[in-house]
Amino acid sequence: MKKETAIFAGGCFWCMVKPFDRWDGVQSVVSGYTGGHTENPTYEQVKAGHTGHKEAVEIKYDPELITYEQILEVYWQQIDPTDDEGQFQDRGDSYRAVIFYSSLEQQKAAEQSKQKLANSGLFKKPIVTPILPAGPFYPAEDYHQNFYQTHEEEYKADRAQSGRDEFLNEHWEQDETKH
């Protein structure tokens, strides 16, 4: 079985696990921190905004069962790609949406998918999600892993309060039970 990695920031990482977790070929989705300058940051440090890190997910997948391009399609449908100040109720640099690539092929695929989204006319504002080289990824504390399963009620309440589902349903015509 092959294994490749995709890393995405899309606001609160609690809401970024479940959408990828349910796809055949996705082997694991880990919540964590990347894109900053502090080694082994803690949640409190990242949330305070002094590490440069984003809350992100690291997705391990089998490219023979799900392609990077398919994973990108799932990613775009979880975020507001026109917001460069955070995502939904979560504001600030640590909650900005970013695609982190680990190969030239991923960079090209991400740039093509971003251009395709921009050309689609789906959004009136520009698509501002940056595409940056991946750096070290630090898994978050155990408490944050698979949060939608381990803290189901808190997850549902946070997600309902965030405004994420209303935005996604308006722009992507999704069924809220899929989030």
- Point out the residues that are catalytic: 12
| Distance from C-alpha of 144 to C-alpha of 32, rounded to nearest angstrom | 8
Per the structure block, which two tokens stand in for 167? 């935005």
Residue 72 CB partners (closer than 8 Å, separation 6+):
6, 99, 109, 110, 113
Contacts 24+ apart (CB under 8 A), 164-167: 164/11, 164/15, 164/78, 164/87, 164/88, 167/80, 167/88
**Of 34, 133, 137, the residue nearest 93 (C-alpha):** 34
Place of tokens 């395709």: 116
Residue 60 in tokens: 């391990």
Burial call 84-97: b when 16+ CB within 10 Å, e when fewer: eebbbebeebbbbb
First to last CA, the chain: 27
